[in-house]
Amino acid sequence: MKHQKSSIIYLTIVAIIFVAFVVVFDTFPRTKISQLEKRELATFPEFSWASLADGSFTSKVSSWFSDSEPFRDELMTLSMQIKDLIGIAPTEDNIKFHAPEPTAKADPQKDGEDKKEEKKEEKPDDSADDNSEEDENTMEENAKIAHAGIIVVGKDQNVRALMAYGGEANGCTGYAEVANFYKETFPQANVYCMVIPTSIAYYCPEKVKKHTKPQLPTIRNVIAHLAPDVKPVNIYFTLKNHKDEDIYLRTDHHWSPLGGYYAAQTFAKIAGVPFKDLTHYEQHVVHGYVGSMYGYSKDIAVKNAPEDFVYYIPKDVEYNTTYIVYTINKSYQVTGESKPAQGPFFYKYKDGNGGAYCTMMGGDSKITQVRTSTKNGRRLIILKDSFGNMLPGYLFYSFEEIHVIDGRYFTKDMVAYVNENKITDILFANNIFSAYSNSTCNKYRRFINQQWSKSPEKSEEPKAEPKVEKTEKQEEPTTPETPETSETPESSES
C-alpha cells in the first residue's frame, strides 16, 4: 500500500510538470529574438500545398517550434548554470574547450625559428607571453571540448573567451591580391593592407596552443604577397606590446576601442598624417557589458564576468557624420537604401546593454561619411568588417574626410565612388578570419564597376561569414561574424 501511494504521488508530480510544460509551450507567446544568441529566431513558415507535399512545411514548423520556445534565453541560462554547478570547480588555470581537436602537432623546430624571427621584429620593451606552466595532463582533465571553436580561460571576473584559429601559414593570399588589384585600379590613391589579429593570438595559454594555430605566419604571408606600392600595416607587434592593457574584449570576439586606438596610431604613422594621443579624447564607459562570446560559447562563466566597454570621443576637432542606411531582409540581403542623412557618430548605450559594440556608427549596414575640420586634402576609405569600426573615430585629426564601407553591404560602383569623392587613401582593415575568406575578397572585387538591383529576389550573400570554403590546398578558418544587435541605444551623442 505504501509503495502504491508513493507511485501515485510520483505520477501526479510528473503529470503536473507535463501539463505545465504543455501550457507554457503551447499558450505562452513565442520568443522572436534571442539576446543571448544575438539573433532573430525562426518564424512560422508560409504554407503552400507544394511545401506540404514535399515535407518541407512540416520540417520548418518543427524548427520554428523548437527554436522559438517561450523563455528561450531564461531556459538556456538556467541550463548553463546547472551544467556549471555540476562541472569541475574552476581554478585559476581551468580551461574549457569548445574547439576541434588539433589536426597536427606543432613542430618544435619551426616554433623555435618563429620565436627567433619574432624577437628581431619586436620592440625592446616587448616581453614574452605570461602563460601558465601548469602540467598539461591536469589541464586536459579539466578540458571541456564542445562546439563553436571557443576556449574559455580564467575564473571569476577574469574569464576570457577565445576563438580557435585554423588558418594556414601559406593562406590568405587572396586578401593581398585584392589589395594589389585596388592599387592597379586606383593608381592615384595610396592603398594600405591591415590584417587584424584576434585575441587568441595573445592570450592563449601555452599548454593549449595545440588547439589553435599561430596567426603571425598568416599575416607575414599576406605582407609577402603585397605589391611594392601597396603599404602593409602590420599591427601584430603593436598590439602585442600592449597586451597587458584592455586591447581586446574578454566577453566578445572583437577587440576593444583601445586596441583600435593603437592600430589607428600605427596606420597614421605609415600614412604620414597627424595623430593625437588619448589626452585629446574624453573617456566614456558602458559598465556591465557582456558580448557575443556568451551566446557562442554557451558558458555561464562568460555571463558572470561582465566587463567595462570603454570608448573615447575626440574633444577638439569638429566633425559631422552622414549615413546611407541599407534595408536588409531576414537573410541579411540588401533590399534597399536610404537617402543620405546626418546622424551621430557615437551612440550612447545603457550600462549592461549587450549592443555596446555598436557605439561607433550604430552598426555595419550602412555607408558612413565623416567630414572633419582637418583640412589637409586627404580623404580616406576604410574597407572593413565589424572590427574596422574601432578605427575611424581616432582619425578625425588625420583626414579631411573618412568613408567607412562594410564589405558585406556596399552596393555602389567603387570606381565612380572613389572618383566622385576624390579619395586619396584606401585602407583594407579586416580581422584575420574575414581576410582569409574567399567570400570577402570576392565581394571587394565585385565592388569595381558594380551594378546593383534593388529587387528583393536578387541573390546577395548573407551578412554572416560562411561556415567553410574549401580549396584544394587549404580550408578557411571560420568566425561568428556579429549580427547587428536588435537593441537600440538610449540616446545619441554628436
Pull the grid cell for residue 33. Answer: 529574438
Residue 133 banded pLDDT, cuts 50, 70, 90? very low
Instruction: Please tell me the predicted confidence (pLDDT) of residue 143.
Output: 30
Helix axes 216-224, 173-185, angle to 10 degrees: 30
Q: Where are the domains of the chain?
A: 1-27, 31-86, 87-126+134-158, 167-493
**pLDDT mean across residues, the chain:** 78
Q: What percent of the chain has pLDDT over 70?
A: 66
3-state secondary structure the chain: CHHHHHHHHHHHHHHHHHHHHHHHHHHCCCCCEECCCCEECCCCCCCCHHHHHHCHHHHHHHHHHHHCCCCHHHHHHHHHHHHHHHCCCCCCCCEEEECCCCCCCCCHHHHHHHHHHHHHHCCCCCCCCCCCCCCHHHHHHCCCCCCCCEEEECCHHHCEEEECCCCCCCCCHHHHHHHHHHHHHCCCCEEEEEEECCCHHHHCCHHHHHHCCCCHHHHHHHHHCCCCCEEECCCHHHHHCCCCCCCECCCCCCECHHHHHHHHHHHHHHHCCCCCCHHHEEEEEEEEECCCHHHHHCCHHHHCCCEEEEEEEECCCCEEEEEEEEEECCCCCEEEECCCEEECCEEECCCCCCCHHHHECCCCCEEEEEEECCCCCCEEEEEECHHHHHCHHHCCCCCCEEEEEECCCCCCCHHHHHHHCCCCEEEEEEEHHHHHCHHHHHHHHHCCCCCCCCCCCCCCCCCCCCCCCECCCCECCCCCCCCCCCCCCCEEEC
Average pLDDT over residues 136-140: 34
Instruction: Please tell me the predicted confidence (pLDDT) of residue 249.
Output: 98
Over 50: is that where the pLDDT of 254 sits? yes
With cell 556568451, the residue in question is: 294
Is 407 within 8 Å of 365 (Cβ atoms)? Answer: no
Instruction: Please tell me the predicted confidence (pLDDT) of residue 67.
Output: 59
d(CA 47, CA 318): 54
Instruction: Please tell me the predicted confidence (pLDDT) of residue 155.
Output: 81
Average pLDDT over residues 130-146: 35
Alpha carbon 337 to its chain centroid, in Å, reads 24
Instruction: Please tell me the predicted confidence (pLDDT) of residue 59.
Output: 72
Instruction: Please tell me the predicted confidence (pLDDT) of residue 459.
Output: 40
Full-model pTM: 0.74
Higher model confidence: residue 463 or residue 6? 6
Instruction: Please tell me the predicted confidence (pLDDT) of residue 173.
Output: 97
Over 90: is that where the pLDDT of 328 sits? no
Instruction: Please tell me the predicted confidence (pLDDT) of residue 377.
Output: 97
pLDDT in tens, 261-274: 999 999 999 999 99
Over 70: is that where the pLDDT of 71 sits? no
Higher model confidence: residue 428 or residue 11? 428
Instruction: Please tell me the predicted confidence (pLDDT) of residue 179.
Output: 98
